[in-house]
Amino acid sequence: MKVTIDADRCVASGMCAYSAPEVFDQSEEDGVVVLVQDSPSADQHEAVRTAARNCPAQVITLDQ
Ligand code: SF4
């Protein structure tokens, strides 16, 4: 799995960091998403899919 984000369109909701904290974090300055891990391990895939599905701005893209 390859994860990409469009941080310019992120609305800083924090949903992704809540769902998959090992993969997504938020900037301490403005809350915008920070991608910690762009190739998460298999045990993270379900959480990453949940994060992508629940992102209110739909800016998380999964390859696979
Ligand atoms: S869930 Fe989407 S909008 Fe919210 S912080 Fe993550 S990437 Fe940004």
7 lines ligand 1 (CB under 6 A): no
pLDDT digits (tens, 9 = 90+) for 6-52: 999 999 999 999 999 999 999 999 999 999 999 999 999 999 999 99
Contact 38, 2 (CB under 8 A): yes
Q: If you take atom 4 of ligand 1, which residue's CA is the nearest one?
A: 13
Q: How far apart are the C-alpha atoms of 40 and 57, rounded to whole Å?
A: 21
- pTM value is 0.95
Q: What tokens were used for 35?
A: 């991608």
pLDDT at 54 over 80: yes
Domain coordinates of the chain in residue numbers?
2-63
Angle at CA of residue 41, ends 23 and 45, nearest 5°: 70
Q: If you take atom 6 of ligand 1, which residue's CA is the nearest one?
A: 16
pLDDT reported for residue 64 = 75
pLDDT reported for residue 45 = 98
For the segment(s) 2-63, the CATH number from 2.130.10.10, 3.30.70.20, 3.10.150.10, 3.40.50.150 is: 3.30.70.20
Ligand 1 centroid, distance to 13 Cα (angstroms) = 5
pLDDT at 60 over 90: yes
Is 1 in a helix, a strand, or coil?
coil
Q: How far apart are the C-alpha atoms of 64 and 59, rounded to whole Å?
A: 16
